[in-house]
Amino acid sequence: MSTPTHSARANNFAQGATGLAAVVESVAKLNALLGSETIVVDNSSNSGADDADARRPIVQRMGLRIGDLGLLFAVNAGREVVAPPAVSRIPNTAPWLRGLANVRGTLVPVIDAAAALGIARTVGMPPYLLIFGQGEGAIGLTIDGLPRLLEIDAAKVLADPPTVPSPLAAGIRAAYAHHGQIWFDIDLDAWFDTLAREVGPLAGARSATDKPTTFN
């Protein structure tokens, strides 16, 4: 079975339907990071570190929060972050598909990520729209706060990670413990494919008022 293209998934959606200052000083700098390559950091030259720490593999990812859920994705996977734009609702689609937004002339399907996963948003955290893909293949996710650049110790991978909401399950590559929280490394294509199949009014509609799940 062939894998749907970003454009095909976006058509399914359209038709079926300051906290970051430690890493970057502005959304513009964050967007520059989103266009760069995902890398593995070599710590072998770190002075003062013991041999074990110096040799540990560190994977660099962008991290985002959706309620209590921490998600990791490749640095070059996201396109840009913008303030939430106005959206035009698409009738007879799942409630988590908020509608279409005009982002500089491109119609972008806007997905309420918390509602799609059935988890509660973080109270008091400003929402942003994180856009993936280009042109007709663009997809936007509403997230809590700005994404941030994280350096994840690959040795902290969890052998028995907690259960995630079912729409995300097929897209989990790995789970890591990082600074007292659990972060899930996700396959965005797999997640978007699942959402595209559930965009209809009776297929997998979820609400942020559903019982939330805690992941930390």
Angstrom distance (rounded) from CA 182 to CA 17: 33
Q: Tokens representing 77?
A: 């996977």
| Protein fold of 6-197 | OB fold (Dihydrolipoamide Acetyltransferase, E2P) (2.40.50)
User: How many C-beta neighbours within 10 Å does residue 198 have?
Assistant: 21
Exposure b/e, 12-50, CB count within 10 A at least 16 = b: bbbebbeebeebbeebeebbebbeeeeeeeeeeeeeeee
| Residue in the structure block whose two tokens are 């918390």 | 114
Q: To the nearest 10°, the Cα dihedral for 100, 105, 106, 108?
A: -20
- How confident is the prediction along the chain (216 residues), in pLDDT tens digits per residue? 555 566 777 666 666 553 333 333 445 555 555 554 433 333 444 445 455 555 678 889 999 989 889 999 998 888 899 999 999 999 989 999 999 999 989 999 999 999 999 999 888 889 999 999 888 889 999 999 999 999 999 999 999 888 999 889 888 999 999 988 999 999 988 999 988 888 864 333 333 333 433 444
- What lies within 8 Å, CB to CB, of 124 at 6+ separation is none
